[in-house]
A and B are shown apart, each in its own frame.
Chain A
Amino acid sequence: MSEPIVKIQHVDKYFGENHVIKDLNLEIEEGEFLTLLGPSGCGKTTILRMVAGFEDATNGIIEVQGERVEDKEAYERDVNTVFQSYALFPHMTVYDNIAYGLVVKKVPKDEIKERVKEMLELVQLMGFEGRRPDAMSGGQKQRVAIARALINNPKVLLLDEPLGALDLQLRKQMQIELKRLQQKLNITFVYVTHDQEEAMTMSDRIAVMKDGIIEHLATPREIYAKPRTKFVASFIGESNIFSGHVTEIEDGIATVETKFGKGRMPAEDFKVGDVAHLCIRPEVLQYSKEPVDGFSISGQVKNMIFVGSVHRTLIGMDEEYDARINRVKYDTAYNEGDTLYLHWEMEDVTGIHGQEDEIDA
C-alpha cells in the first residue's frame, strides 16, 4: 500500500478545558472516500477543521502528503473544503464564486474561463454562471460550493455535512452524484456526517466517532456486520442489544445471562465472567411462543407498526427497553399482549466486549 495522503498521529485538541479530540490516530488513503460519522459534538468537524487549517492541534502531528502542516496557513494547504452552510460569497456571481480559487492565484483569465466552464459542466450548472447565490435553491448552491472547492484540484476534499440542509429526496440524489464525482475525479474525499445511512451509501471506509475517539474504523459492511463497540452497534443501523455476563462456555458457544433472560453467542475470545453485549439486527431476531433450548429472553408484544418498507413489532422487555423485530410480511400468528421468546442463529449475533457500567445503560 502506498503512503497515506493524510496522516493524523496522536492528536489532542482542547478548547479551553474541553478535551474534544483524544489521542486520535487516523490514516486516510489516497483516492478513498472516508466518512467521519458520529453524533454532534463527537469531534468529527474539529478533525476536518484541523486538516483544513482553521484549528491547531493542541498535541500531535498532522501530515498531508507526507508533509507536516502545522506551519502552513489554510491558504497554503492543498486541501479544500465544502462548508456546511455552503459559505458562498453573497456579493459574487456563480462564475466569480467558482473562479475565486484561481483568481487569487492570479491564473490567466482565459485559463480561468476554461476551468470554470469545465466545473459548471461537471456539476451540471451550465447557464447559471450569472446568478447570485441568493437566487438559487439549496441543491444548486451545494453544487456551486463543490465546484468552487474542486477547481483548485485539491489533493483532498473535505466535506462538512454538505447535504445537511437539503430535503431527503435531494439528499439521496446528491449522495449518488457525490459518489460518482469522487470516483470520476479520483480525489480523496473526507466526509463528515451524523447520518449513518448517508455514510453507508457513499463511503469506502467509515470512522465512527464518539467523544473525541474513533470507536470503529472499517468498511461499511464490516461495521454493520461486526460492530466493535456497543455504541457503534446502536449508532449504525438498528440493533437489539442485550447486555450481561458470560456464565458458561461450552463447545465454542457462550451463554450470557442478561436481565431479561439467557442468550447465546459464539464464544470467540470471551471468558466466563466477561461483560458481553449481544447484538442482533431486528431483521434476523427470531421469536416463538415457547422457549428455545439455551435461550430464555422474553417479553410482551407491545405494538405493531407499519413503517413503509417493513412491519415492525415492538416487544416490551421492561419499562424502558423494547426489542424490535422487522419483517417484510405481517405475521398474524400473535397479538398484542402475547408473551414471546426471543432467539437467534449463531451467525446472526455479534458479541461485543463491554464494561461493567454499560450493562444497565
Chain B
Amino acid sequence: MEAVNQTTGTRLSKRLRRQRAGRIWGNIFAIAVFTFIYIPIAMMVLFSFNDQRTNYYWNGFTFEWYKYLFTESDLWGYLVVSLIVAVASVILSLAVGVLGAMGLMRFEFKLKKLISNSLYIPIVIPEVVLGISLLMLFEVAHFPLGYWSMILAHTTFCIPFVVIIMRGRMAGMDMSVEEASMDLGANRITTFFKITLPMLVPGILSSAFMSFTLSIDDVIITNFVTGPYATTLPIKILSMVKVGLKPEVNAMTTVMVVVLILGILANSVVQAMLKKRASANKKTYF
C-alpha cells in the first residue's frame, strides 16, 4: 500500500492511482499466463490418478498407477538411458565448451570467426535439420546408432550453449587475477586449476543445468539418432503417444516434476546457506 499524502488530502494522486491500476492489471495478466502454461501440467498430474488403462477421459481416482510405476513399470529402464546420455553429454559438452569459451575469448586464430559463428548454427536452425544432418553423418561414417550416437548428438547441441553462457560470464569477470597468479609464480596449469576454474564454477553449474535439461527432454534430434537397442524416455513416450498414453507415464512425469521442484527448493536453500556462511566467516587465522 502506498502511504497517502497527508498534505494533499486523503485521495491518491492520479499518477499513483494509475500506477496502482497498472500493477493490478499486470498481476491479472501474469496470473492468466501462468494459468495457461500450467493447465497442461495440472491435467497431467490429475490424469496420473485416472482409473483407466489408457488416458482418454476421466474415469475416477486411483493410486494404482503409482504402485504400478514403482513395482512393475519398464519406464525406469528408458529413464536410465536418458540419464546416461544426459550425464555423458553434460560432461563432454562442459569439457569442450568451457575450454572452448576460454580459447575463443583469449586467442586469435585463423578460423576463429568461423567457429564463433558456427556455434549459433545448432541454436538457431530448426532441430529437425540438425537431426537429419547428424543421421546422415552417422550413416556415411558407418557409425552404429545407439548410446554413442545419442551422446555425440546431444553434446553437439549442448556445446554452443555452454560456450555462450561461459563467454558471457567470463566477459563480466576481471581476468587480471590470472595475470596476478602468474606474476606470483604459478604456471598456466596451476593458475587454471587454482584461480580460473574456481571463479568459473557458477557459470559451469548453470551451463551444466542448461545442458542437462536440453538433453533429458530432447525428442526431435534423438528420434533420428536413437538405436534399436537403447532409447530414451522421451522417444519411448513419443511411440506411446500414437496409441494413447497410459496413466503410468503421467505418474512417471509427475514424479519427475516433483523431483525437479524439490531440487530447485534444495538449491535455493543451499545458496542461502552458502551466502550466510560467506558473510559470517568465523575462521581464525592467527
Count B-side interface residues using an 8 Å CB cutoff: 10
The answer to whether B14 touches A58 (Cβ under 8 A) is: no
Q: Interface segment, A64-72, A118-126, A193-201, A315-323?
A: A64-72
State which residues 30-88 of A face B: CB under 8 Å: 53, 56-61, 68, 70-73
A334 located at the interface, meaning its Cβ lies under 8 Å from any Cβ of chain B in the complex = no
Contact with A along B1-39 (1 / 0, CB 8 A): 001011110000111101000000000000000000000
Which of chain B's residues has its CB closest to A9's CB?
B7
The answer to whether A70 touches B8 (Cβ under 8 A) is: yes
Which of chain A's residues has its CB closest to B6's CB?
A59
A115 located at the interface, meaning its Cβ lies under 8 Å from any Cβ of chain B in the complex = no
Q: Closest approach, in angstroms, between the C-beta of A162 and any C-beta of chain B?
A: 26
Inter-chain CA distance A210–B3, complex, in Å, is 24
The answer to whether A71 touches B14 (Cβ under 8 A) is: yes
Q: Contacting A73 at CB < 8 Å: which of B7, B8, B15?
A: B15
Inter-chain CA distance A61–B16, complex, in Å, is 15
The answer to whether A56 touches B7 (Cβ under 8 A) is: no
Given A56-B15, A56-B16, the answer on whether A70 and B3 have CB atoms closer than 8 Å is no
In the assembled complex, 29 residue pairs joining A and B whose CB atoms fall closer than 8 Å, in A order, are A9-B7, A14-B3, A53-B15, A56-B5, A56-B13, A56-B15, A57-B5, A58-B3, A58-B5, A59-B5, A59-B6, A59-B7, A60-B5, A60-B7, A60-B8, A61-B7, A61-B8, A68-B8, A70-B5, A70-B8, A70-B13, A70-B14, A70-B15, A71-B13, A71-B14, A71-B15, A72-B15, A73-B15, A73-B18
Residues on the B chain within 8 Å of A68, using CB = 8
Contact with B along A112-132 (1 / 0, CB 8 A): 000000000000000000000
Count A-B contacts at CB 8 Å: 32
Residues on the A chain within 8 Å of B6, using CB = 59
Q: Closest approach, in angstroms, between the C-beta of B168 and any C-beta of chain A?
A: 20
| Range for the number of chain A residues in contact with chain B | 10 to 19
Inter-chain CA distance A73–B13, complex, in Å, is 10
Residues on the A chain within 8 Å of B5, using CB = 56-60, 70
Residues on the B chain within 8 Å of A311, using CB = none
A10 located at the interface, meaning its Cβ lies under 8 Å from any Cβ of chain B in the complex = yes
List the 7 closest A-B pairs by CB distance, nearest first: A70-B13, A71-B14, A60-B7, A59-B6, A58-B3, A59-B7, A71-B13
Residues on the B chain within 8 Å of A58, using CB = 3, 5
Residues on the B chain within 8 Å of A57, using CB = 5
Which of chain B's residues has its CB closest to A71's CB?
B14
Q: Given A56-B16, A68-B8, 6 other A-B contacts at CB below 8 A? A: A57-B5, A60-B5, A60-B7, A70-B8, A71-B15, A73-B15
Q: Closest approach, in angstroms, between the C-beta of A82 and any C-beta of chain B?
A: 23
Inter-chain CA distance A91–B18, complex, in Å, is 30
State which residues 161-214 of B face A: CB under 8 Å: none
Inter-chain CA distance A9–B7, complex, in Å, is 9
Which of chain A's residues has its CB closest to B5's CB?
A59
Which of chain A's residues has its CB closest to B3's CB?
A58
Contact with B along A7-21 (1 / 0, CB 8 A): 001100010000000
Q: Closest approach, in angstroms, between the C-beta of A275 and any C-beta of chain B?
A: 34
Q: Closest approach, in angstroms, between the C-beta of B4 and any C-beta of chain A?
A: 9
Residue from the set B6, B7, B18 with the largest chain A CB neighbour count within 10 Å:
B7
Inter-chain CA distance A61–B6, complex, in Å, is 10
Residues on the B chain within 8 Å of A73, using CB = 15, 18
Residues on the A chain within 8 Å of B16, using CB = 56
Q: Closest approach, in angstroms, between the C-beta of A23 and any C-beta of chain B?
A: 10
Which of chain B's residues has its CB closest to A68's CB?
B8
Inter-chain CA distance A72–B15, complex, in Å, is 7
Contact with A along B108-152 (1 / 0, CB 8 A): 000000000000000000000000000000000000000000000
Residues on the B chain within 8 Å of A60, using CB = 5, 7-8
Q: Contacting B7 at CB < 8 Å: which of A10, A14, A72?
A: A10
Q: Closest approach, in angstroms, between the C-beta of B80 and any C-beta of chain A?
A: 51
Inter-chain CA distance A115–B5, complex, in Å, is 40
Residues on the B chain within 8 Å of A56, using CB = 5, 13, 15-16
Inter-chain CA distance A10–B13, complex, in Å, is 17
Inter-chain CA distance A73–B7, complex, in Å, is 19
Residues on the B chain within 8 Å of A72, using CB = 15
Inter-chain CA distance A68–B15, complex, in Å, is 13
Residues on the A chain within 8 Å of B15, using CB = 53, 56, 70-73
Q: Closest approach, in angstroms, between the C-beta of A307 and any C-beta of chain B?
A: 33
Residue from the set A14, A59, A68, A73 with the largest chain B CB neighbour count within 10 Å:
A59
